[in-house]
Structure 1
Amino acid sequence: MTRQIRLALRAYGVGGPGQHSLWKDPRVPKNASIDIDWYIAQAKAAEHAKFDALFIVDSQFIDATYPPHYLNRLEPLTLLSAVATHTRDIGLVGTLSSTYNSPFNVARRFASLDHISHGRAGWNVVTSLDSGTSRNYGLDEHLDYATRYGRALEHVQVVRGLWDSYEDDAFPADVERDLFVDPTRLHALDHAGEHFRVAGPLNISRSPQGQPVIFQAGVSEEGRNLAAHVAEGIYAPGGDLSSAQEYYADIKRRAREVGRDPDHVLIFLGAQPVLGATDEQAHRLSREIFEADNDFQRKLAQFGRSFGAHDFSRYDLDAPFPDVAHLAEKSGRTRGAEIVRRAREESLTLRETVLAFTQYRPSPFTGAPDTVADTIAAWFEARAYDGLNVGFRTNEDLERFVADVVPLLQKRGLFRTEYEAGTLRGNLGLPIPANRWTVTR
């Protein structure tokens, strides 16, 4: 089968990171982040264009400096359950933390979404970046990296075990034999591990795709290892072509080394296309978008997120970057370590460090439709990604991408013109997981 591009849409409502001023745009409803009709419209537009999935991000800690979308948004599975009843083919991927949820609850909620959507659910497994989340769950401190990722691996294993509670033929519903469920096809998990003790079984059957698709996002060593072991889809950071290729090759290598088929680990690169009638117009628009949010005090406040929402406003901006490396150990460790390393190596002040990490970097997918399509194709053929996880500022931007870029990719045979299957797995080309009990029997 010819390799084709996958497309996922991430919806940020009134403005995610770097889009603090988006809520002021008259084209954006002021309540977009809690307006289910807005999400349904986005999902329908993406489905019309044959996108693979709608992706909903989430976090559970805020303060007043966080992006507007973070301050007032819907819970992902509730949102996606509503979207499921208004769509037919597009996948529905929700973010849920393995650190602050129990496996049984996660398994039941995603299995329910999978049935509601007839096999279109996906779980984006996160361990929670914001260390302040711990205080919302009765804990004094956020778990360290090793514990969070060890817990995440076991969490996914338990959830998958619960999803296998019923074999596919467990419900004969035979009136003549007075047999609704075949008890030999129902299995308790009886898991006892380092982090969880879960008896099971789960009280819901398998869906048409067997199990929801597992997604994951992470760039740390622990995150990459978790992805190699459990992820079927990975949300990768953006960046330049060479760094995207490095990440792609590294994840595929790790998957192969643990005995998995690398083709069953799909990497979705984050992208924010900016389109114009000409390349010049698109780059001018891109710069205008950056300048609309080029507020130093706001960037300074957001800079603290990698360091446990640390308040950097207490420091002298023109003094050397403060010694805060320890604050990133249980928060955004990978980015925090890179910030500290560069600040030390280049002897940067706090002001210079913030500016260095928030300077203008146009999306590589900026230009006229032909230019954007060419770049998308070139990066795909260079093995920088399997799919793009695209975000747009407004519905009009999404519609323009759908109308002007997607057809160019379809003409090249790089993107589908019709859905291949009725499930998320089927459309992603992923196999249905065999039920472990059926295999054993």
Structure 2
Amino acid sequence: MNGNRQLHLNAFLLGAGHHGAAWRRRGSPLEQLGEIGYYERLAQSAERGLFDAVFFADGQSAGDVGAGPRWFLEPLTALAAMARATENIGLISTVSATFYSPFHAARMLASLDHISAGRIGANVVTSMFDAEARNHGLEAMPGHAQRYGRAAEFIEVALGLWDSWADDALVRDRAGFYADPALVRPLHHEGDHFRVEGPLNVPRGPQGRPVLFQAGASGAGRDLAARYAEGIYAVAYDLPSAQAYYADMKQRIAAAGRNPQKVAIMPGLVTYVGSTAAEARAKQDRTDALLPTGESLTQLGTFVQQDCTGWELDAPVPSLPPAAEFTGPQGRYATILRIIETERPTVRQLLGRLAAGGGHCTMVGTPEQIADQMELWFRSGGADGFNLMPPLLPDSLDEFVDDVIPVLQRRGLFRTRYTASTLRGHLGLDRPAAGAPPNEDDRSSRLTAS
């Protein structure tokens, strides 16, 4: 591996933390979750740690409101404020291709790219649950193939809209044109899912285009990521599963005619940091002890698509269908199967394992021990970086920034200062020219403004 490579790190911000019981602990920021200042402070902490970006997931339904805070502020709105409270860190939001129109999404993201001076990214998803569909006039979610076909066309149209203004379109001649009409071109798109005339009503942003992320685990999701993603969020329970996903995605990216080295693969990472391994483990155990088992069984049921409420807590996990027969979201389910196969846990143990991050990699120990594991994954073809999922906010984020980041820096694995001012710069991506493919080495064709 190139000795000059360094880790990419995003901070995944979620309520009071990613642990299902984070909000229940004494002193949690429960009362602050509706205050933009809370999220601004989290972004400032991640920026102090020189992270590439902060990231918000999103959903289109309330879920079980009694089980704890799932969503609060709409993320694109929140990022507008957070952009004004930070200077360098990237700002990424999930955007659903199933429920947004490409013009609407492209306009908001281009606006945010201007507001943030070039720090915006979008994680394009197809969404999961029928409850979300019913909030958008649908009886149920469209089929898997239809959602991914729509997502691919959604991305194509968004790229075309962002490119519909040339970089030098703005003339700003008070005696003549504001913009050169010849350099602002309509799209004239007519596809299976969208008809979009264009052009976009926002000039091209500082990055040219917002950075595109994807998190596909199914075959169709992986193919979509291989074609378009400039960063990929992954679910990997252990190093072998991370290596398998990493190798498969790098091969798919190359097969799509793109440069695999230009696409960072970032598994989710939950960390419990302590001055000793025993202290870190005790911190995890105290948090796990706050988890209500009934609500956890209900959540597990959403992951495996069956009623788990009657499962005996101290018995082995009942037999589950193989992944090939499962029709729900593939990534989380495959992780659950791997945990069961590897650890043979009881139901109670599985609930604890899923409590923070839902089966993402969990590292528990001293700063040096966690840095050891991160370096192993990085140097062994398991990750280009990580999407940090702090189990307890703000505590776990601050501990990582204050204790783990310095170890990574001493080892030359992470930056000691920002050397760029845009998200593309943090990720080592060039600013694309209007009409160019998703990265400079991409030989595949796509729609362009015309």
- Do both proteins adopt the same fold according to a TM-score greater than 0.5, normalized to the shorter chain? yes
CA distance in 1, matches of 2:143, 2:325: 11
TM-superposed CA distance for 1:14, in Å, is 2.6
Q: Deviations over 1:44-64 (max 9, x none)?
A: 011111110010011112332
- Worse-superposed segment, 231-240 or 394-403: 394-403
Aligned position for 1:126? 125
The SS at the match of 1:85 is helix
Q: Indicate if the aligned counterparts of 1:238 and 1:244 stay in contact, CA closer than 8 A.
A: yes
Q: Does 1:36 align with 2:36?
A: yes
User: For the residues of structure 1 that align with 2:339 and 2:366, how far apart are their CA atoms?
Assistant: 35
Equivalent in the alignment of 1:8: 10
Alignment of 1:205-224 (within 5 A): 205-224=203-222
**Cα distance in 2, alignment partners of residues 75 and 148 from structure 1:** 22
Deviations 1:298-332 (A, max 9, x none): 22211232366x65548999997699999963x42
Whether the aligned pair in 1 keeps the contact of 2:21 and 2:287 (CA below 8 Å) is: no
Whether 2:46 is the aligned partner of 1:22: answer no
Compared CA separation, residues 435 and 14, structure 1 to 2 (3 A): same
SS at match of 1:267: strand
Change in 2 beyond 3 A, CA 1:316/1:284 = closer
> 1:432: how far off?
1.4
Match of 1:358 in 2: 351
1:356 deviates by 7.0
CA contact (8 A) 1:104 1:198 kept: yes
C-alpha separation in 2, matches of 1:32 and 1:266: 33
Q: Which amino acid aligns with 1:221?
A: G
Q: Which amino acid aligns with 1:301?
A: T
What percentage of residue pairs aligned between the two structures are identical?
41
Cα gap change, 1:339 to 1:235, in 2 (>3 Å):
closer
* Cα separation, partners in 2 of 1:314 and 1:28, compared to 1, 3 Å: closer
- 1:142-161 equivalences in 2 (<5 Å): 142-161=141-160
d(CA) in 2 for partners of 1:292, 1:233: 34
Q: Distance in 2 between matches of 1:73 and 1:128?
A: 17
Counterpart CA distance in 2 for 1:254 and 1:324 is 24
TM-score normalised by the chain length of structure 1: 0.89
The letter for the 1-side match of 2:260 is P
3-state DSSP of counterpart to 2:174: coil
Structure 2 distance, partners of 1:30, 1:134, is: 28
Residue-pair matches, total: 429
| Alignment CA distance shift 1:207-1:337 (3 Å) | closer
Query: Match of 2:47?
Result: 47
Question: In structure 2, do the counterparts of structure 1 residues 365 and 313 end up closer, same or farther at CA, with 3 Å as the change threshold?
Answer: closer
Residue 3 of structure 1 deviates from its aligned partner by 0.7
Question: Which residue type is aligned with residue 13 of structure 1?
Answer: G
Contact 1:27–1:394 (Cα < 8 Å) also in 2: no
Gapped regions of structure 1 (runs ≥ 5): none
- Does 2:248 match 1:250? yes
Whether the 8 Å CA contact 1:328–1:337 is kept in 2: the answer is: no
Provide the rounded CA distance (Å) in 1 between the counterparts of 2:362 and 2:338: 26
Alignment of 1:326-405 (within 5 A): 329=327, 331-333=328-330, 335-336=332-333, 354-355=347-348, 357-358=350-351, 360=353, 364-392=362-390, 393-405=392-404
**Range moving further from structure 2, 283-292 or 334-343:** 334-343
Matches of 1:338 and 1:283 in 2, distance apart? Answer: 22
Distance 2:143 2:304 in 1: 13
Work out the CA distance in 2 between the residues paired with 1:122 and 1:425: 9
Helix, strand or coil at the partner of 1:55: strand
Contact 1:299 1:354 in 2 (8 A): no
Amino acid at match of 2:114: H
Kindly state the Cα deviation for residue 359 of structure 1 after the two structures are TM-superposed: 5.1
Equivalent residue number for residue 301 of structure 1: 298
| Structure 1 CA distance for aligned equivalents of residues 371 and 105 of structure 2 | 38
- Note the residue ranges of structure 2 that are not aligned, 5 or more in a row: 438-447
Cα pair 1:65 1:301 within 8 Å, conserved = no
| In structure 1, C-alpha distance between the alignment counterparts of 2:17 and 2:217, rounded to whole Å | 23
How far does the alpha carbon of each residue in 1:34-77 deviate from its partner, in whole angstroms, 9 at most, with x for none? Answer: 2211100010011111110010011112332675221x511110
Cα deviation for residue 162 of structure 1 reads 0.4
TM superposition shift of 1:92: 0.3
Q: Distance in 1 between matches of 2:80 and 2:244?
A: 36
Greater relative contact order, per chain length (Cα 8 Å cut-off, separation 6+) = 2
Distance of 2:153 and 2:346 partners within structure 1: 38
| One-letter amino acid of the structure 2 residue matched with residue 433 of structure 1 | P
Q: Which amino acid aligns with 1:94?
A: S
TM-score under structure 2 normalisation?
Answer: 0.87
CA–CA separation in structure 2 for the residues paired with 1:394 and 1:306 = 24
User: Is residue 90 of structure 1 aligned with residue 83 of structure 2?
Assistant: no
Q: In 2 relative to 1, CA 192–20 (structure 1 residues): closer, same or farther, beyond 3 Å?
A: same
Task: Verify the 8 A CA contact 1:339 1:353 in the aligned structure 2.
Answer: no
* Corresponding position of 1:171: 170
Change (3 A) 1:320 1:94: closer
User: Residue 223 of structure 1: CA displacement?
Assistant: 1.0
In 1: Cα distance, 2:59 partner to 2:146 partner = 19
Aligned to 1:290: 288
Name 2:441's counterpart in structure 1.
none
Q: 1:327 to 1:103 in 2, by over 3 A?
A: farther
Deviation at 1:24, TM superposition (A): 2.3
CA contact (8 A) 1:14 1:31 kept: no
1:316, 1:414 → 2: CA distance?
A: 45
Residues 300, 351 of structure 2: 8 Å contact kept? no
Task: Provide the secondary structure at the position in 2 that maps to 1:271.
Answer: strand
**Given residue 188 of structure 2, which amino acid in structure 1 is its aligned partner?**
D
**CA displacement, residues 200-249 of structure 1 (integer Å, 9 cap, x when unaligned):** 11001111211000001121111111110111011111311111111111
The Cα shift of 1:381 comes to 1.0
